[in-house]
Amino acid sequence: MKLLWGDLHNHCGITYGFGALEHALAAAKEQLDFCAIIGHAMWPDMPERAEDTAFLVDFHNEGFDKLKADWEAVRAKIREANIPHEFVTFQGYEIHSSRYGDHHVLSPSDELPLVYADSPQQLAEKLAAYQAIAVPHHIGYSPGYRGIRWDAFRPDLSPIVEVFSKHGCGMTDGSAYPYYHSMGPRDSRNTVFAGLNQGKKFSFVGSTDHHAGYPGSYGDGRVAVWAEEKTRESIWEAIRAGRTYAVTGDKIACRFKVNGAFMGSEVEAKETRQLILDADCADFVDKITVYKNAKPWKVIAGENIPQAETENNGKMKYKIRVELGWGSSEEAYPWNAEARVTGGRLLSADTCFRGQSVLAPEPGMRENPDINKLGNHVTGQTDQSLTWTCTTFANPSTLHPATAGVVLEVEGDGTTVLAVKANGITLRASISELLEGSRSMHMKPYSSEAVLIHRAVPETAYQVHLEWEDAEKEKDTDVYHVEIRQSNQQFAWISPVFVRS
């Protein structure tokens, strides 16, 4: 099967988000295999309009009306963007619900109608003829305050649950990436672990919930699927089967099986269970936690992971991240960059492009349909070099990056040199130097934009193969899932395997 990357929950100007739909689709094609651009459609139990809720009610209704008026045109553009084996799109829209939590419906059908319902479950039932599913998202909010209701959850309608987005991480109330949006904090009753402990069956996905039309915006959430091919039908089959997992941003390639059964599967095992995890990360592996029934079962520090010998005729593989951004300018900063390898080979490259950081409506943004037209684009790649253009912004705070980058996989030795040329200025470092630490340069003398070549990560520190055996039955159905944390605080949450005794 092929590992494919997507974003199933991204907003733009088709409702009360921002940026043109065509720019959103173009951005998605740059670093994803599939996406769904979601319009806001309804909120059946929205608070009544009063003096303190007027803005809330009005901007929602304005967005709902816009989608209704333009639905046929929106659906047509998304249909036209679907090109089998090149780039895949899905149709969908969102229903807010104070009582049941927000969901977005997804469908592989280009005939998906815009219909209205009193609950997400009712909406999915109305759309059954279009194979629609309802995906709960930002599930961790308070009960009755747009957090999920596990007692109303139906796995036949919701085979996947969005566990990470720009809102934060909903795995547990103690997970990294707390909720700090104005909608409020996480509540443990509405987390993933709470649902698993109640016997609910579902797989994990990540998506951005980004409101300025930039699917796959780095660090805001992405979904991985294992599918037979890059087509709508194959990806949809993988989603329905639960062969999915969530990442924050880095494309951490993961395979997880129990007795040969893939993530998302149900399998019967009366005696020994054999667990196998393979992962190809994008940075140093910091920690791997295997959970059994939502409790840590095996915890492995990165330093303790067995390292296989990988040297090939004096050459090894390394992952090296090149990051661009910083500065204090209030204006967007365009980059024209090249990374060139001397004395080695460039094997692959992954992009870490971001859209502007937008999660909620702000005055003035609607007037700029090009807010998501950032020119983030790989312009060329050989086995010696990568060229790209991108746009960055000043970091909103010391904890919120607005940088852009690429992750290069390089084959070489200590003498191999990486030269990064950005806007006419060049920074060089050998792999020997980068194994000791990072290197940076600035574009101007003070508070300026900068280039950072991160510390080189040897293959032995980013590739993982681990096996375990477990012969202890705890429940009629034991649930195994995995969390991978990298040193740069990028995560993967691998969907469960459900083992019946």
**Gap between the terminal Cα atoms of the chain:** 28
Give me 211's structure tokens: 């409101």
Distance CA 427, CA 434 (A): 12
pLDDT above 80 for 233: yes
CA dihedral sign of residues 105, 1, 353, 492: positive
pLDDT above 70 for 419: yes
Distance CA 425, CA 443 (A): 7
Q: Are strands 2-10 and 345-352 parallel, antiparallel or unpaired?
A: unpaired
Q: Are strands 345-352 and 491-500 parallel, antiparallel or unpaired?
A: unpaired
pLDDT above 70 for 34: yes
Distance CA 269, CA 501 (A): 6
Per-residue pLDDT band at 305 (split at 50, 70, 90): confident
Distance CA 251, CA 241 (A): 21
Mean pLDDT of 165-171: 97
Distance CA 145, CA 418 (A): 51
Distances (CA, A) of 476 to 154, 199, 267, 469, 480: 20, 10, 12, 18, 13
Read off the pLDDT of residues 318-347 as tens digits, 9 standing for 90 and up.
999 999 999 999 899 999 999 999 999 999
CA triple 167-34-217, angle to 5 deg: 35
Give me 154's structure tokens: 């139906």
pLDDT at 307: 66
pLDDT above 60 for 365: no
Give me 224's structure tokens: 């991985």
Read off the pLDDT of residues 70-118 as tens digits, 9 standing for 90 and up.
999 999 999 999 999 999 999 999 999 999 999 999 999 999 999 999 9
Q: For residues 218 and 404, is the Cβ–Cβ distance under 8 A?
A: yes
Read off the pLDDT of residues 126-148 as tens digits, 9 standing for 90 and up.
999 999 999 999 999 999 999 99
Per-residue pLDDT band at 415 (split at 50, 70, 90): very high
168 burial via Cβ count (<10 Å: 0-12, 13-18, 19+): buried
Read off the pLDDT of residues 472-491 as tens digits, 9 standing for 90 and up.
999 999 999 999 999 999 99
Per-residue pLDDT band at 362 (split at 50, 70, 90): low
Give percent above pLDDT 90 in the chain: 90
Cα 222 to chain centroid, rounded: 1
Backbone angles phi, psi at 199, to 5 degrees: 85, 15
Cα 453 to chain centroid, rounded: 23
pLDDT at 303: 86
Three-class secondary structure of residue 291 per DSSP: strand
Cβ neighbours for 121, distance < 8 A, ≥ 6 positions apart: 100, 134, 152, 154, 157
Distance CA 418, CA 427 (A): 8
Q: Which helix (H) or strand (E) holds 405?
A: strand 404-412
pLDDT above 80 for 364: no
Mean pLDDT of 182-188: 96
Question: Looking up tokens 């470092």, which residue turns up?
Answer: 429
Tell me if the pTM is above 0.85. Answer: yes
pLDDT above 90 for 230: yes
Q: For residues 147 and 140, is the Cβ–Cβ distance under 8 A?
A: yes
Distance CA 349, CA 346 (A): 8
pLDDT at 501: 87
Q: Tally Cβ neighbours within 10 Å of residue 326.
A: 23
DSSP string across 93-114: EEE--TTT--EEEEES-TT---
Backbone angles phi, psi at 257, to 5 degrees: -135, 150
Across the chain, what does the average pLDDT equal? 95
